C-alpha cells in the first residue's frame, strides 16, 4: 500500500509488480505535450510517424513524431497542423473524440475520419457526427464530408481498409457500416450499408472487424459477434454475456478478444475480460483480470507483435497504464504498470524507429498527451 501511494505522487514514474526475467524493464517517459483544457484530450491515432490527437474543442491536432515532415520524433513532437471540425449543431462544439487516417487499397492517404462525441445519457441517448477531413496537404487539412445518424451519436470506429468499409459504434444507434470508397464529399447518408442494434436496446462503445466477423462491445449487454451480409448485419454469436459491469473497449487478436469495463453498474469497472473465439468465431469467456484500486478501463489494445496486452485506467492509486504478457493469450500475466495520478483515459501502441511507444491521454484538470517508451518491457 505504501509503495503505490509513493508512486501515485510521481506523475510519470513506472512501477512494477514483476520485474524479473528478460524484457521486463521499466516503461520510461519520452514526452509530455500539454493540451489546452478545452476539455482536453481523448483518443490518439498514430500511423506513419504522425499522431492525430483528438483534442476536443481544440480540434484535431496533427503531430510529426517520426514522419519527417517537420523533423519531429517521439521525444520532440512537432505540430504539423490543426483543424477544428464543424459542430453541425451539436451542443458543446466540435468535441473531437477519435480519428482514423484511412489508407485505401489504391495507396491514397487522403482522408481522416473524425468522430464527434456530443452530450448523451448512458444507455439512452447520444449525439455527434462522423466528419471527413481531406489531408492531401497535411499542413492545410480541409473538412469535406459528414455522416449523421438522427437521434444517436458516434463513439469509436474501425475501418476495414481492404473492403473500404467504416464500422462505427454509434452508442444508442448500434453499429453502422459505411461505404468509404472513392471520393468523399457532402452528406454521406446515401453510403450507409447497414446498421443493427445487437442487443435490442443497445449502447455500443466499440467495434472491430476481424476474420470475417465484426465484434462490438455494448455497454449494456457485453460482447457481440456480427457479420455483414450484403446490406444487413447478422447477429452471429455472443451477447447478453456481461451483466455485472458496463462493457467498454475491445481488441481482437489471434483468436482472442480482450474487453474492458467501465464506471459503476452492479460492480465497479475494474475488469478486463478474456474471450476465446470458437471455430465459428463466437466468443467464449475464459478469464477475467481484475485490478483493485481503479474504477474504469477505457482502452484495451494488444501490441503489434502480439506479446503485450495494454489497458488504460482511471481513478484510484493504481490508475494509469497496465501491461500484461500474452505468452498464454488465454491467461494474461502482469508485467508492469505506469502510474499517473487521476489516470489516463485512452492509450494506444505505436512502432516508431524500431521502438515501441504508448501514446496516452492524461485526464483534466491538466490534460496532456503522454508518450511512453515501452520497448524494454
Residue 228 has pLDDT above 80, yes or no: yes
Query: Which residues, including other chains, have CB under 8 Å from residue 67's CB and lie 6 or more apart?
Result: 48, 49, 50
Please, which residues have CB within 8 angstroms of residue 355's CB and are 6 or more apart in sequence?
Answer: 74, 373, 375
User: Cα(259)–Cα(250) distance, rounded to whole angstroms?
Assistant: 4
User: Where exactly are the structural domains of the chain?
Assistant: 1-34+242-377, 39-191
DSSP summary character for residue 190? G
Q: Work out the average pLDDT over 280-295.
A: 96
Residue where the block lists cell 466477423: 213
User: Could you give the percent of the chain with pLDDT greater than 70?
Assistant: 94
Predicted local distance difference test score (pLDDT) of residue 17? 39
Least Cα distance to 100 among 137, 48, 150, 139 occurs for 48
Residue 346, H or E segment: strand 344-352
Sorting pLDDT into bands at 50, 70 and 90, what band is 24?
low
Per-chain mean pLDDT for the chain = 93
Nearest to 138 by CA among 43, 35, 42, 52: 52
Work out the pLDDT band at 266, boundaries 50, 70, 90. confident
16 pLDDT exceeds 50?
no
Place of cell 485490478: 291
Task: Name the architecture of domain 39-191.
Answer: 7 Propeller (2.130)
List alpha helices for the chain, DSSP H: 2-9
Q: E strand or H helix at 310, and its extent?
A: strand 308-314
Residues near 33 by Cβ (< 8 Å), separated by ≥ 6?
53, 63, 77, 368, 369, 371
Q: Over 60: is that where the pLDDT of 10 sits? A: no
- Determine the pLDDT at residue 8: 31
Does the pLDDT at position 305 exceed 70?
Answer: yes
Averaged pLDDT, 20-37: 80
Q: Which residues contact 328 (CB under 8 A, 6 or more apart)?
A: none
| 10-32: average pLDDT | 57
Give the least confident one: 1-5, 227-231, 271-275: 1-5
Q: What is the mean pLDDT of residues 229-239?
A: 96
Task: Read off the pLDDT of each residue in 348-364 and give the average, rounded to a whole number.
Answer: 96
CA atoms within 13 A on the CB side of 360: 36
Q: The C-alpha cell of 90 is what?
A: 451539436
- Please check whether residue 374 is in contact with residue 25, taking contact to mean a CB–CB distance below 8 angstroms: no
Q: Is the CA virtual torsion 360, 366, 367, 370 positive or negative?
A: negative
pLDDT in tens, 85-111: 999 999 999 999 999 999 999 999 999
Dig out the grid coordinates for 105 from the structure. 487499397
What DSSP designation does 305 have? T
**For residue 333, what is its C-alpha cell?**
500475466
Mean of pLDDT values over 38-63: 97
The DSSP bridge partners found for residue 359 are 348, 371
Q: What is this structure's pTM?
A: 0.93
In the predicted model, what is the mean pLDDT of residues 253-280? Answer: 96
**What are the contacts of 163-170 at 24+ separation with CB within 8 A?**
164/104, 164/105, 165/193, 165/209, 165/228, 166/100, 166/113, 166/130, 167/207, 167/208, 167/209, 167/214, 168/115, 168/130, 168/207, 169/204, 169/205, 169/206, 169/207, 169/216, 169/217, 170/126, 170/195, 170/204
Asked whether residue 75 carries a pLDDT value surpassing 80, the answer given is: yes
User: Do residues 302 and 368 lie in contact, with contact meaning Cβ atoms separated by under 8 Å?
Assistant: no
pLDDT at 363: 86
- The position carrying cell 464527434 is 116
Q: Is 338 exposed, middle or buried (0-12, 13-18, 19+ CB in 10 A)?
A: buried
pLDDT at position 22: 38
Query: pLDDT tens for residues 134-168?
Result: 999 999 999 999 999 999 999 999 999 999 999 99
Amino acid at each position: 500500500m505504501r509503495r503505490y501511494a509513493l508512486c501515485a505522487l510521481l506523475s510519470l514514474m513506472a512501477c512494477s509488480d514483476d520485474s524479473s526475467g528478460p524484457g521486463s524493464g521499466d516503461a520510461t517517459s519520452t514526452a509530455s505535450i500539454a493540451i489546452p483544457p478545452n476539455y482536453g484530450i481523448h483518443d490518439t491515432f498514430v500511423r506513419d510517424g504522425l499522431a492525430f490527437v483528438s483534442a476536443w474543442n481544440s480540434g484535431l491536432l496533427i503531430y510529426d513524431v517520426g514522419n519527417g515532415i517537420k523533423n519531429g520524433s517521439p521525444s520532440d513532437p512537432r505540430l504539423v497542423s490543426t483543424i477544428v471540425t464543424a459542430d453541425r449543431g451539436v451542443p458543446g462544439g466540435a468535441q473531437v473524440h477519435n480519428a482514423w487516417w484511412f489508407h485505401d487499397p489504391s495507396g491514397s492517404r487522403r482522408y481522416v475520419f473524425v468522430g464527434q462525441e456530443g452530450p448523451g445519457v448512458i444507455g439512452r441517448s447520444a449525439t455527434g457526427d462522423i466528419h471527413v477531413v481531406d489531408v492531401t496537404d497535411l499542413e492545410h487539412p480541409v473538412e469535406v464530408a459528414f455522416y449523421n445518424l438522427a437521434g444517436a451519436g458516434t463513439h469509436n470506429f474501425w475501418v476495414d481498409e481492404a473492403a473500404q468499409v467504416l464500422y462505427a459504434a454509434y452508442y444508442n444507434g448500434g453499429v453502422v457500416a459505411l461505404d468509404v470508397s472513392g471520393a468523399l464529399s457532402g452528406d454521406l447518408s446515401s453510403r450507409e450499408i447497414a446498421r443493427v442494434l445487437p442487443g435490442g436496446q443497445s449502447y455500443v462503445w466499440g467495434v472491430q472487424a476481424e476474420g470475417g466477423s465484426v465484434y462490438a462491445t455494448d455497454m449494456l449487454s457485453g460482447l457481440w459477434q456480427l457479420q455483414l451480409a450484403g446490406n444487413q448485419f447478422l447477429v452471429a454469436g455472443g451477447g447478453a454475456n456481461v451483466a455485472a459491469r458496463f462493457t467498454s473497449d475491445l481488441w481482437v487478436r489471434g483468436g482472442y478478444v480482450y474487453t474492458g469495463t467501465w464506471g459503476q453498474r452492479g460492480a465497479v469497472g475494474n475488469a478486463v475480460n478474456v474471450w476465446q473465439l470458437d471455430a465459428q468465431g463466437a466468443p467464449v469467456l475464459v478469464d477475467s483480470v481484475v485490478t483493485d484500486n481503479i474504477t474504469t478501463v477505457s482502452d484495451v489494445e494488444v501490441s503489434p507483435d502480439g506479446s503485450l496486452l495494454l489497458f488504460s485506467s482511471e481513478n484510484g492509486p493504481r490508475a494509469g497504464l497496465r501491461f500484461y504478457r500474452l505468452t498464454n493469450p488465454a491467461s494474461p500475466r502482469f508485467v508492469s504498470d505506469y502510474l499517473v495520478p487521476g489516470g489516463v483515459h485512452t492509450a494506444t501502441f505505436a512502432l516508431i524507429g524500431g521502438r515501441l511507444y504508448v501514446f496516452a491521454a492524461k485526464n483534466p484538470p491538466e490534460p496532456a498527451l503522454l508518450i511512453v517508451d515501452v520497448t524494454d518491457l
